[in-house]
A and B are shown apart, each in its own frame.
Chain A
Amino acid sequence: MSSTPLQRESVPELPNPLGMEGIEFIEYATSRPQALGQVLESLGFRPVARHRSREVTLYRQGGMNMVVGAPADEGLSEAGARPVLAAVAFRVRDALKAHSRCMELGAWDVPSRARAMELHIPAIRGPGSSRFYFVDRWKEFSVYDIDFVPIPTVDPHPPALAGMSYFGLVQYIGGGRSVDWMAFYENLFGFTQIPDEQRFGILPKGKLMQSPCGSFLWQLVEPDPGMDDDSSAECLQRVGLGAPDVHAAVQALKALGVEFVESHLLHPEDRGALTRTVLGSVSFELVHREA
């Protein structure tokens, strides 16, 4: 009864089935957008545009876009003051095709919240309450052209501090759930697992996957085996920032007031560094990446 003809030959699928080409933006949701904005500015991001109809601000440095918003219908938790990583937007070849493919494979659709004359960005559910967007307008035009208004007198393309770029995302998952989530990212997006021996940065726990475009990594971290009472919800936990010279990046960020975790177990070094958690949930990881 299948409406599609059956394959007579086993033809391997493309290694990059969505035509993924990196991260277009990462979105935080918070009831204190200005406080988070200050944190981002201390990391070198600059506010460059505001949404036409919502309290949403676009921050940017180099090739990294960060969206901070507090949508009223987002159902933020009681601890809404603590920012949450709400979405990651992937650059893909064709957003609608990417969305359709994921839906065919078993993703959950996220209904569009676009209002009249606003851009509809197709999205699927991610871990916890997060979303994954698919964006194909990132070359000649951008998704910000329609919905955002540039902030006057501000450089719309501020350079990246210390050559930083998106390195990847860290996702906290439930105990024993690594194989599940690896199957999720492999099936839907074409991510591949990186061998356990190959690690980056100073927090090497968990399983590591690479995007099919090779431009960013995804780290899955389970609770420690002894932490049976860790029943916290699965979520996107933090953003990794790549830097060609971690030491120089740390010094530049310290000069802007960023504090780093410094203990006998964890401290800034050439491989990476971890910023102190601020606003109850926000930290960033610096990871060495060749320029």
Chain B
Amino acid sequence: MQIASGLLGGFDMDSGTLAGPLELRLQAMAYAGFCQVSLSARDVVAQPGGAPAVAQALQALGLRPTALQALRDFEGLSGPMHRYKVEIAQSLLELCQALDCAVLVARATTLEQASGEPDVLARDLRKLAMLALPLGIRVAYVAHSASGLVPDFGRAWDLVCQADCPNLGLGLDLHAMVAAGSPLDELEDLDASRIFQVQLSDGIEPTAAQASGHAPGLQVFPGEGLHSAALADVLLRLDAMGYQGDYSLAVHNADYLQLPATSVAQRASRSALWLREDVLHRSAPLPWVASRG
């Protein structure tokens, strides 16, 4: 298992991709060769024993938590709504800290009552980053195709730049970007060191509607769907830009949720190996190096 962990280094699975009790899901990931995991806050709090039990399970399995999903609809609010969201953010940040998880994913607001003023959105993102800062947590801000204000990564990047806080960066949902036909040349405008997480999934449906958020469509692991070539293109662009962060396999698929977690995790493992070896052409770590990890 240690050698396989080395092979899949840099790739993790999202806990929401698998079915069953979280502990069994984590075991399935570890046995499939993953050494890191992106956690859903809902999964963590639903686990008997909560965050301490999950942290213990992660340690026992040698899994590193890379990111916690997700804070939603934080920015652009005022009055009681803003104060409520600050409290939610604080609770999620404390959950992150309890799990020793370095990144909190924040999804762009989809609320109609959110302010459209860039100054207000950036101010709130900066506040979120400042809340996260003493805890040693980074915030990955992800555009949302259902957001009227921040529907694409270019808009999200503008706000991250305007907020100007070192622990605030971007999260990229590559499937949403590819399916929505986002102009990928704009990726070159990004600072790779400020990309804190990249989520990967493929799609079987060719329409852009599947990335709208309202109709998520049938997602599969990268390499299993219709957008594999486009995904590979984006990965190579990110690699060329110098992105060295984590890739997260985050697939929302109802079929996967009625299959044994071990079987789905094995599919994910094959996908990660395809991305690593056939797309990114990363060399496998030497056995004696991998076995130390």
Contacts and interface: CB of A to CB of B under 8 A. Distances in A.
A3 B82 CA distance: 11
B130 A105 contact: yes
B127 A105 contact: yes
B126 A106 contact: yes
Contacts of B120: 1-2
Given A2-B117, A3-B79, A104 B127 contact: yes
Contacts of A127: 134
B115 interface: yes
A144 interface: no
A6 B117 contact: yes
Contact of A174 (B90, B136, B166): B136
A138 interface: no
Nearest to B116: A1
Interface stretch (A52-60, A162-170, A175-183, A268-276): A175-183
Contacts of B78: 1-3
A187 B130 contact: yes
Contacts of B165: 183, 187
Contacts of A222: none
Interface string A1-30: 111001100000000000000000000000
Contacts, number: 56
Contacts of A181: 133
A234 B128 contact: no
Interface string A58-74: 00000000000000000
A7 B129 CA distance: 22
A184 interface: yes
B253 interface: no
Q: How large is the interface on B (under 10, 10 to 19, 20 to 34, 35 or more residues)?
A: 20 to 34
Contacts of A125: 134
Contact of B114 (A1, A104, A174): A1
A200 interface: no
Interface in A109-152: 125-127
A127 B133 CA distance: 9
B147 interface: no
B163 to A, nearest CB: 11
Contact of B131 (A6, A7, A108, A174): A108
Contact of B90 (A7, A104, A108, A180): A108
A20 B133 CA distance: 22
Nearest to B114: A1
Contacts of B129: 106
A187 B134 CA distance: 13
Given A2-B115, A6-B117, A106-B126, A184 B133 contact: yes
13 contacts: A1-B77, A1-B78, A2-B117, A6-B119, A7-B119, A106-B131, A107-B130, A108-B90, A108-B131, A174-B136, A180-B167, A183-B166, A188-B130
Can you list the 8 inter-chain pairs with the closest CB atoms, starting with the nearest?
Answer: A106-B130, A106-B127, A1-B115, A179-B166, A106-B131, A2-B120, A3-B78, A180-B167
